[in-house]
Amino acid sequence: GWQRGSDPQVFGNVQPDWLGGITNTFSYKGVQLSVLVDVRQGGQVYSMTKYNQMAGGMGKFTENRDNLIADGVIQQPDGKYVKSDKVLLAQDYYASQGPWTDIGEACVIDADYVALREASLSYNLGQVSLLKNSILKSAKIAIVARNLFYLYRDPQFKTMGVSPETAFNNTTAAQGVEMLSVPTTRSLGFNLSFSF
């Protein structure tokens, strides 16, 4: 199995290289579509979800349980190293990478994501003939959806069904630790606005 190094190592940094967003709005004959894409590039997080799934063998990534060989080397009696060919039990292969040996590397995951943060579709009722003889100058109806889905996130997060954003909260001591969190909430709403 795996062997823990004697000296601590840095496997990542919670800080992103950059954050950004792009908003596009398209209009045609009173109909308006607006889309917001949110991007985080760079940074890593420690995933307690992966840690627990490795420890218990419950993760989808632990379904492969045959012919598991650790990616590493074995020291020979003469002091030389050869590539490992030792087949491990599934529990040793997965849990020994971290949960049973205090090795953190396997649970450090890239925090990059591209999210479809918001989309809205609206219609300006100002062109409807019913408004022409009313006290209203204009009216607008819209459907707004937020946190729709990820266009990209690390494949490990995708397999586990975890949002990389849950590792960034308002507690300073917990930054960069994804801790069995509830996914980002999706919402769907309707707006109706008037001007007199």
Which of residues 151 and 59 earns the better pLDDT score? 151
Average pLDDT on 60-80 reads 90
4-28 per-position pLDDT tens digit: 878 888 888 889 999 999 999 999 9
- Amino acid 129: pLDDT: 55
Average pLDDT on 155-162 reads 91
What span, in angstroms and rounded, lies between the C-alpha atoms of 17 and 31?
Answer: 37
Average pLDDT on 79-102 reads 88
What span, in angstroms and rounded, lies between the C-alpha atoms of 184 and 150?
Answer: 11
Query: In which band, very low, low, confident or very high, does the pLDDT at 167 lie, cut at 50, 70 and 90?
Result: confident
For residue 87, which phi and psi values (nearest 5 degrees)? Answer: -80, 130
User: What's the predicted TM-score (pTM) here?
Assistant: 0.80
Query: In which band, very low, low, confident or very high, does the pLDDT at 193 lie, cut at 50, 70 and 90?
Result: confident
